[in-house]
Amino acid sequence: MTARLRALPLLARYIPRTMPWVTLLTGCLTSLAIFTVLVRVAHHDQATFWLDQGTIRLSLLPAVAALAFVPYLPFRPLTRATPVPAWVTPVGHLLLAAPILALTYWAQQRIMTTAVPPHTPQDPHEPTYALIAQLVGWFAVTVAVAAWIARSRFAELAGAVAAPIAFSIIALAWYLPITAKFLVHPPAIAHSVAIGWYSIAAVALTLTCLAMRDHWHRYTRVLRRIAAPGRGRGQSGEPSSKRGDASPARGAGATVAR
């Protein structure tokens, strides 16, 4: 456990460095720019009564597209061979992306508030929690699709493939009468929308976890030995292969295929 904790500072440096910041920030800034332009145009045209949560949803699509590139695992074959589980990097990237996405949404809400003063007839009455649930669902679906495509032969273009597929899934959920009954407000009530999208997010999260798992069984003891080479059993002269561990000489290949 201590050895794992010692690996954290190393990962804390590695994960932000490999994070696709430019892609994510471009997506979020594009979302903000599109939203600002729409608000400005509507304001100029005295059509702010048309501004609603649909405008926020639509303008967040570039951010959703950018998120599809976040779970990307750089140098995949090499990373898989290291003692650190393969899911650590994409999960770290997603954790770093979450506040950026939340900040983008918050900024959009602020812009909306300035354009449409509260308690006016134009004020959108749809509850915010339902919108947040929808966006969480969208993000989760996108990440799940990207994570699964990352396991396929299209891994190098996972984001480019995942984004259109995620958009198609969202569009189908939105427009198919059978799903719209529960996921779109109206006809669905806000509670149903929130529950529906959070359920989808939970399923997507489970699928993401399944997709990100290692392709093979990992020998976790190797991690301990690499983290503390001076105190490992190999130091005492006892052959580690006796205990079934992979030897340090096997290095990056400290894994055994199923």
* Residue 23 in contact with other proteins, rule: CB under 8 A: yes
Q: Encoding tokens for residue 207? A: 């699928």
Q: What share of the chain is helix, strand, coil (3-state, %, to 5)?
A: 75, 0, 25
d(CA 89, CA 72): 9
Q: Are 221 and 245 in contact (CB under 8 A)?
A: yes
* Residue 66 in contact with other proteins, rule: CB under 8 A: yes
- Which CB sits closer to other proteins, 61 or 254? 61
Please tell me what DSSP assigns to residue 1: -
| CB 58 to other proteins: min, Å | 6
- Which CB sits closer to other proteins, 69 or 105? 69
Please tell me what DSSP assigns to residue 85: -
d(CA 72, CA 20): 8
Residue window 102-131: x/- pattern of binding to other proteins, with contact defined by CB under 8 A: ------------------------------
Residue window 169-208: x/- pattern of binding to other proteins, with contact defined by CB under 8 A: ------x---------------------------------
* Residue 71 in contact with other proteins, rule: CB under 8 A: no
Q: Encoding tokens for residue 161? A: 């493939």
Q: Are 255 and 217 in contact (CB under 8 A)?
A: yes
Q: Which of 51, 135, 201, 222 binds other proteins (CB under 8 A)?
A: 51
Non-local CB neighbours of 112 within 8 Å, separated by 6+ positions: 39, 51, 55, 56
Residues that bind other proteins (CB under 8 A): 23, 26-27, 30, 34, 38, 41-42, 45, 47, 50-51, 55, 58-59, 61-62, 65-66, 69, 154, 156-157, 159-160, 163-164, 168, 175
